[in-house]
Amino acid sequence: MRKKRIYFFSGVVLVIMIGLLTRLVQIQLMEAEAFSEHKVNLIENSVKQRTQQLIIDEGRGSFLDRKGESINYESKNVLVLFPFLARIDWDAAKVADILQINENRLLGEIEEAKEPFVYGGKTPYILNENQMNEINRLELKGVFALKRKYPKDTVAAQQLIGLTGENEERFHERYPDRVKGATQKIGISGLEKSFDEWMIAEQESKLIYHVDARGGPLFGVDVKYLAAANPFYPLDIQTTIDSGLQLKMEELVDKHNIKRGGAVLLDVESGDVLASVSRPVVQKGEPFSDDGAKNLMTTQLVPGSVFKTVVASAAIDLNLIDENVVFNCDETIYGKPAPNPHGTININESFAVSCNRTFADIAKSLIEKDDKTLDLYAERLGLTGDIGWKGSIFHYENFEQLPIDRGRIFINEDEKKEAGYVAQTGIGQREVRVTPLGVANMMATIARGGTRQSVRTVSEIQYKNGTELVDFPVQELEKHALSPYTAMKMQQYLRNVVAGETGTARFLNTASYEIAGKTGTAQTGRSVDGKELYNKWFAGYFPFDNPKYALAVVNMDVLEYEGGIYPVFKDIADMLYENSEMEAES
């Protein structure tokens, strides 16, 4: 009986020992970098407990502009100091003399420090190259002059580039095979989200100092530098953004007090996004508190009369109408007296004065012939559907560079059976929703003579050394989205809006470039203090004879007689003209 008890207790002890040993193997060997369902990195957390460290580069890739300059990061020459300097003798006077700073202030900041820090804190003291070299030649323990990577305070095209955030749970949901710590940033909007898989950090670059439980030196005063071993990473994403034009456009949009809305600029030949401005700006600390984080240039909005471009293009392309047919522009789309009568005029004149009756009647005729016509031509012109660059790369069959609302013309098929609904659709109201980027793309399609191309925001993914990993070529989607004749007629119509005697945008005829385009004033269904709010648009291309730029500008939620859109469009066009002149001279 006694032997049985001994065997029993020995067995229990053995089972417990095996369990503890198994648990130890699990913790130390099998799941050291991803322990439990929370994927806790035990090695990383252990290192953090016994080290002081300063991140030099978080390791996430950069977005570059079309000239190869970083859009979202900058490097600063800074002085890094370690707190153990307060316990040892070192030549503080020499460092202060090189930097031309007060020695007592330098020593005071070190006395207060509990962790390694950059001298100057949030507004770091910036060193020149000579100062860096002189300090590093001193070879002082715990004193480093180096380049540190900082996120820029203001990021150009912030909503298009997108935002990042730290969320360990979401990181592991997105990348279950990767093991990283809680501070790993992931993209949550814009290009940051689309290209996140290529942007995430492989390894941080940091200075590390080992300490004991009291914060004292564990292995003396040696500081180690850890950096990514792979010279090809992190990857960089080269965008199509022209930073110079982007910043100037942002200034002009703000100068004209556009609170909600913005402007988007395309290169006509390539379909590249050269600049994209969305307002309101991103609010630091609370980016999602309003529309600040949303890219309104890729968000579907009510277009108003800009949509008449689609109606006119379809009518001409299908030989449904010619310039001998006239319309009663003394009446509204409902047959009542028009507040701004224009007489009996043809489609060309109707387009210039933006007569609603003409395009309501044409829209009804188009739908009677084929109820898919307006949807089809909106997509052919690059206004709706898949607007952005889309294709197969690596394990993505249909990779999209940028999330863009697809837009719509009708909300359901039943609307096409109601003449009143179709009439409102023909003038860009009812359920018509398009993006400013799509509107600019439509103008580029017409400017190219009817060839539809995808809109490109990224030209390539690069290794850290600048060599190409992935190329995103210009995509021609449809050679003859419009017939050459239709494209030519639409170019004339768009030019008449600006240059014609009765055109609605005659103000723009004083611009440095000859502009062709279309106005739009859309009812939004929203109001303030009982007064209706409108989206005001102008979209076009220039120079007329040799198209280079397509531009769409929208001022959202403004009163009927406020928020004029022509001045900002003209100022942007004039800025581009001056920029081209300066480039030609240089």
**Which active-site residues does the annotation give?**
305
Strand pairing report for 236-239 and 63-64: parallel
Task: Collapse the DSSP code of 354 into the 3-class scheme (helix H, G, I; strand E, B; otherwise coil) and give the result.
Answer: coil
Nearest to 183 by CA among 199, 164, 198, 197: 164
* Closest to 157 (Cα-Cα) out of 264, 257, 301: 264
List, in sequence order, the alpha helices (H) in 401-455: 419-426, 436-447
User: Which letter, b or e, does each residue of 506-534 get, where b requires 16 or more Cβ atoms within 10 Å of its Cβ?
Assistant: ebbeebbbbbbbbbbbbbbeeeeeeeebb
What gap in Å lies between CA 412 and CA 252, rounded to an integer? 39
Rounded Cα–Cα distance for residues 201 and 55 (Å): 13
Side chain identity, residue 360: A
**Rounded Cα distance, 505 and 515, in Å:** 10
What's the Cα-to-Cα distance from 354 to each of 5, 445, 485, 520, rounded to whole Å? 100, 21, 22, 9
Strands 51-57 and 224-226: unpaired
Q: What DSSP string runs through 239-293?
A: ES--HHHHHHHHHHHHHTT-SSEEEEEEETTT-BEEEEEEESPPPTT-TTSSGGG
| Side-chain half-sphere exposure of 120, counting CA atoms within 13 A | 12
**What six digits make up the tokens of 386?**
């898949």
User: Are 207 and 54 a contacting pair, CB within 8 Å?
Assistant: yes
Pair of tokens at residue 162 = 């997108």
- The span from the CA of 157 to the CA of 277, in Å, is 6
Count of helix runs (H) and strand runs (E) in the chain? 18, 23
| Cβ-based burial of 2 (10 A; exposed 0-12, middle 13-18, buried ≥19) | exposed
The Cα–Cα gap between 503 and 274 comes to 28
Tokens 């062709």 correspond to 516
Q: Which helix (H) or strand (E) holds 207?
A: strand 205-210
